[in-house]
């Protein structure tokens, strides 16, 4: 079984904020594949299904971004998920809005959610999909920026990258991080050439 964890904050207060792009992308995937999320005793909303005979789970922690690792640890242990079979989706201020980067492993990248997952799993060896939100904020205003709601215009600009992220998740579920990375290498240049992408 493979699993996909979106980093974000629970509740209407944080809905459609930049810091919740992990949730937004998971919701888009769930909508496409008709997956429902249900509250779990493991501090998350959890949904499951299969794609081309490959079973998967979708995870939206309810512990807030800074404690995302608590749920990651519980779910991987409960379902016997190997760490390389856990894909984490996160926003990233170090990438222009709508840009995507894939890694098989790595450090925190300055993201508290990733730091929490590394700490609780005691490993950096989980793949991650980093979705750029840009850094259009002044010194000391990062928290306000990431917790600000995404405007309608911004959603229009990042629609294709969000849909592409869903496509990458599908490849991950079918064939793991290698399949996802191969698909990314073959198709990402075309996405980043789209004229409506910020930072291109």
Tell me how long the chain is.
200
Closest by CA to 91, choosing from 18, 166, 178, is 18
| Distance, CA of 64 to CA of 44 (rounded, Å) | 10
> Is-catalytic flag, 19?
yes
Alpha-helical regions (H) of the chain: 21-33, 68-79, 112-121, 142-146, 152-192
DSSP state of 97: T
Q: Catalytic residue among 19, 111, 120, 183, which?
A: 19
Q: Rg (Cα) of the chain, in Å, rounded?
A: 16
Nearest to 52 by CA among 176, 174, 181: 174
Q: Report the C-alpha gap between 36 and 138 in whole angstroms.
A: 39
Catalytic residue numbers, as ranges:
19
């Amino acid at each position: 079984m493979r699993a996909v964890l979106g980093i974000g904050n629970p509740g209407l207060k944080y809905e459609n904020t930049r810091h919740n792009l992990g949730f937004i992308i998971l919701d888009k995937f769930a909508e496409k594949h008709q997956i429902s999320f249900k509250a779990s005793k493991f501090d998350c909303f959890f949904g499951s299904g299969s794609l081309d005979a490959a079973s998967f789970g979708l995870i939206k922690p309810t512990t807030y971004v800074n404690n995302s690792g608590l749920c990651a640890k519980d779910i991987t242990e409960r379902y016997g998920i190997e760490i390389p079979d856990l894909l984490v989706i996160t926003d990233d201020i170090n990438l222009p809005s709508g840009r995507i980067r894939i890694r098989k492993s790595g450090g925190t990248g300055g993201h508290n959610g990733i730091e929490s997952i590394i700490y609780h799993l005691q490993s950096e060896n989980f793949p991650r999909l980093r979705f750029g939100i840009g850094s259009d904020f002044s010194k000391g205003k990062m928290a306000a920026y990431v917790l600000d709601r995404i405007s309608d215009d911004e959603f229009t600009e990042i629609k294709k990258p969000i849909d592409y992220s869903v496509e990458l998740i599908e490849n991950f579920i079918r064939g793991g991080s290698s399949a996802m990375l191969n698909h990314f290498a073959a198709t990402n240049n075309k996405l980043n050439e789209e004229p409506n992408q910020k930072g291109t």
